[in-house]
Amino acid sequence: MTNEVSRLLEEKIASFKPGSLIKGTVVRLTNDEVIIDIGYKSEGVAPREEFKGQKDNVKEGMEVQIVVESLDPDSNGLIPLSKEKADIILNWENVERIFNEEKPIEGIIFKRVKGGFRVDIGVTAFLPSSQTDLKPITNPSEYIGMKSFFKIIKCDSLRKNVVVSRKKYLEEIREKEKIEFLKKLEKNQIVSGIVKNIVDYGAFIEIDHGIVGLLHINDMSWGRISHPSQLFGIGEKVEVVVIDVDLEKQVVSFGLKQKTPNPWENIEEKYPVGSVVEGKVVNITDYGAFIKLEEGVEGLLHISELSWTGRIKHPSEVVAMGDTIKVKVIDIKKDEQKISFSLKQLEPNPWPEIARKYKVGSVVKGKVYNITDFGAFVEIEKGIDGLLHISNISDKPVKHPSEILRKGQKIEVMVLEVNPEEKKINLGLKQLGEVEKGGENESNSEE
C-alpha cells in the first residue's frame, strides 16, 4: 500500500509544471499571503490581494483553484502560485461554456471606447454601441457602471476576443415576456391600447409588451363605417376587446363593437316583418336608399319599393339624405344582418283595380308622357303609364315614334294587355285607325 501511495504521489508531482491549473487547500493566512497545500513536496503561496472578492472571506480549509507560477521555491521554501491567473483561465472556460450553451452572462460596463464600450464579464469584452440598447444611444455616459446581462455573439479564446450584445439579451427577454403575456390574454378580455396605424381595412392597436393587433373595420361598429379614420386618430388611446389570440403566429385580433350588445340579436322581435317603422336616410345609391333605424341597424329601401308605378329613375326623386321617413319591413335576414323596407307598400297596390278598370279592347284617352326609340309612354291616369310600342303606332312603316307623336300630345289608344304582376300596360294606336301627325297638344305639355 505504501508503495502504491508513493507511486501516485510521484505521478501527481510529475504533473506539476509552470502554468498548470491545480486544486489546493488553504492551510494558513497572513495579512498579505495565502498559504496553500497543493499536494506537492512544498506548500504554495499566493498574494492575498489576488483573491478579489474572497480577500476578506478566504478561510483555512477552503478549497481553491490555483496556477503554478514556478516549481522553484521562494526564500521561504514555498512554491509561487497565482490566483489571478487561475481566475483568468476559469473565466475564459466559463465564457466559452456560456457561449456554446447560448446563455446570458452577467457583466458590468466599465469604459467607453471607440465604437462602443468595454464590459467586464470575468474577462474583458467589447460591446458595440449598436448592441447596447433597444433604442438608439443619446447619452453614452449613462451606461458606464451599468450592471446587466449580455448575450455573447462572438468568442475567440485564442485571440482573447469577445463581443457581447445587451440589445439581443433585452430582445429575448422582451420576447419571453411577450409570449407569457399572450398566454394570459383571454377572449372577451378588455385591454387598453394606442392606435399605431390606420389602413383602409382597419386600425393597428398596440397594447402592453409591444404587442400590436388588428382591429378590423368590420369589428369597429355594428353600424356602417366607410373608413376607420371616422372613429380613430393615430396616437389615440382606446379600449378594445380581445376576440382571438394566435400564440403560434403571435397575432391578436381586437374588436370594439363587441363591447356593446349586438343590436341584431333580437331584430325580429323589435322590427317584425310587416311592421311600419321610422328611420333616417343615411345613404342613397342608384339602386336604393339605406335607412337607419338605430345605431348598428340599417336596411335597404330598394328603388323598386319606392313606387307602384315604376316610373322612378333614381331614389333621390323620392327621398333625400337626412330625411326621416316611415317604411314597412318586408324582409329580415338576421344571419346576414340585412333588413329590407318598402315605401310603396304603405299604400294599397293599385294594379288589381287598374286591371279591372282597363279591360283589354277598351279605348282610353291619355297623354304622351315620354318618347323613346322603341315607342312612347302614355299616361292614362296620374302615375299610371302604358307602353305604345312603335309596332303598334301605325300600319305604315315608322322609323321613329316622333314622326307621328309629340310629348304632351293627347291621344286615344286601345288597351291591348294589362299585366298586374309586372305592372305593365300595352297600348295600341293603329288598332283605332290612322291619326293626324301631331294630333292634339296641351298648351302646358311637358318638355
Helix (H) or strand (E) holding 410: strand 409-419
Residue where a domain stops, chosen among 315, 330, 346: 346
Yes or no: say if 228 and 220 are a contact pair by the CB < 8 Å rule: yes
The rounded percent of the chain whose pLDDT value lies above 70 is 92
At residue 423, the pLDDT reads 83
Residue where a domain stops, chosen among 346, 368, 385: 346
Task: Tell me, yes or no, whether 272 and 303 share the same domain.
Answer: yes
Going by pLDDT thresholds of 50, 70 and 90, the confidence category of residue 237 is very high
Yes or no: say if 161 and 206 are a contact pair by the CB < 8 Å rule: no
At residue 436, the pLDDT reads 46
Task: Tell me, yes or no, whether 228 and 283 share the same domain.
Answer: no
Sign of CA pseudo-dihedral 429, 431, 432, 437:
positive
How far apart, in whole angstroms, are the C-alpha atoms of residue 331 and residue 267? 11
DSSP string, 299-368: EEEEGGGS-SS---SSGGGT--TT-EEEEEEEEEETTTTEEEEESGGGS---HHHHHHHS-TT-EEEEEE
Task: Tell me, yes or no, whether 437 and 365 share the same domain.
Answer: yes
Indicate whether 362 pLDDT > 60.
yes
C-alpha cell at 334: 338576421
C-alpha cell at 18: 509552470
Going by pLDDT thresholds of 50, 70 and 90, the confidence category of residue 72 is confident
How many domains, in total, are found in the chain?
5
C-alpha cell at 158: 485564442
Task: Tell me, yes or no, whether 33 and 82 share the same domain.
Answer: yes
User: Does residue 52 belong to any structural domain of this protein?
Assistant: yes
Q: Which of residues 157 and 123 earns the better pLDDT score? A: 123
Indicate whether 437 pLDDT > 60.
no
Reported as a single tens digit per residue, the pLDDT across 373-394 is 999 999 888 878 889 999 999 9
At residue 105, the pLDDT reads 95
Angle at 445 between CA 444 and CA 447, to 5 degrees: 120
Indicate whether 444 pLDDT > 50.
no
- The parent domain of residue 316 ranges over 267-346
Reported as a single tens digit per residue, the pLDDT across 317-350 is 899 999 999 999 999 999 888 999 999 899 888 8
* DSSP-H helix ranges across 32-115: 83-101
Residue type, 126: F
Yes or no: say if 22 and 16 are a contact pair by the CB < 8 Å rule: yes
Stretch 26-49: mean pLDDT, rounded? 88
Task: Tell me, yes or no, whether 84 and 127 share the same domain.
Answer: no
Indicate whether 6 pLDDT > 70.
no
Q: Which segments within 116-201 are labelled E, that is strand?
A: 116-120, 124-128, 147-156, 161-165, 190-199
Task: Tell me, yes or no, whether 289 and 238 share the same domain.
Answer: no
If one counts every other C-beta atom within 10 angstroms of the C-beta of residue 442, the result is: 11
Indicate whether 52 pLDDT > 80.
no
Task: Tell me, yes or no, whether 289 and 243 share the same domain.
Answer: no
How far apart, in whole angstroms, are the C-alpha atoms of residue 392 and residue 430? 6
How far apart, in whole angstroms, are the C-alpha atoms of residue 108 and residue 433? 113
Task: Tell me, yes or no, whether 271 and 321 share the same domain.
Answer: yes
If one counts every other C-beta atom within 10 angstroms of the C-beta of residue 132, the result is: 24
Burial 182-202 (b: 16+ CB within 10 A, else e): beebeeeeebebebeebeeeb
Stretch 86-94: mean pLDDT, rounded? 89
At residue 355, the pLDDT reads 87
Indicate whether 10 pLDDT > 80.
no
At residue 445, the pLDDT reads 41
User: Does residue 112 belong to any structural domain of this protein?
Assistant: yes
What's the alpha-carbon Rg for the chain, to the nearest Å? Answer: 48
User: Does residue 95 belong to any structural domain of this protein?
Assistant: no
Task: Tell me, yes or no, whether 25 and 57 share the same domain.
Answer: yes
User: How does the average pLDDT of the chain come out, rounded?
Assistant: 88
Non-local CB neighbours of 249 within 8 Å, separated by 6+ positions: none
Diameter of the chain measured on Cα atoms: 151
Indicate whether 29 pLDDT > 50.
yes
Task: Tell me, yes or no, whether 228 and 297 share the same domain.
Answer: no
**Which of helix, strand or coil describes residue 33?**
strand
User: Does residue 342 belong to any structural domain of this protein?
Assistant: yes
User: Does residue 1 belong to any structural domain of this protein?
Assistant: no
User: Does residue 12 belong to any structural domain of this protein?
Assistant: no
Indicate whether 213 pLDDT > 50.
yes
At residue 3, the pLDDT reads 62
Cα torsion through 68, 74, 78, 81, rounded to 10: -20
**Least confident segment among 49-58, 112-121, 353-362, 427-436:** 49-58
The rounded percent of the chain whose pLDDT value lies above 90 is 56
Residue where a domain stops, chosen among 290, 324, 346: 346
At residue 20, the pLDDT reads 82
At residue 447, the pLDDT reads 37
Indicate whether 1 pLDDT > 80.
no
How far apart, in whole angstroms, are the C-alpha atoms of residue 329 and residue 339? 7
Yes or no: say if 369 and 377 are a contact pair by the CB < 8 Å rule: yes
Reported as a single tens digit per residue, the pLDDT across 272-311 is 999 999 999 999 999 999 999 998 899 999 998 998 876 7
**Which of helix, strand or coil describes residue 21?**
strand
Task: Tell me, yes or no, whether 208 and 130 share the same domain.
Answer: no
User: Does residue 179 belong to any structural domain of this protein?
Assistant: no
Reported as a single tens digit per residue, the pLDDT across 105-137 is 999 999 999 999 999 998 999 999 999 999 999
Task: Tell me, yes or no, whether 249 and 287 share the same domain.
Answer: no
User: Does residue 162 belong to any structural domain of this protein?
Assistant: yes
How far apart, in whole angstroms, are the C-alpha atoms of residue 379 and residue 398? 22
At residue 12, the pLDDT reads 58
Yes or no: say if 271 and 257 are a contact pair by the CB < 8 Å rule: no
How far apart, in whole angstroms, are the C-alpha atoms of residue 50 and residue 145? 22
Look up the pTM and report it.
0.57
Yes or no: say if 430 and 395 are a contact pair by the CB < 8 Å rule: yes
How far apart, in whole angstroms, are the C-alpha atoms of residue 295 and residue 222? 7
Residue 144: give its domain's CATH number: 2.40.50.140
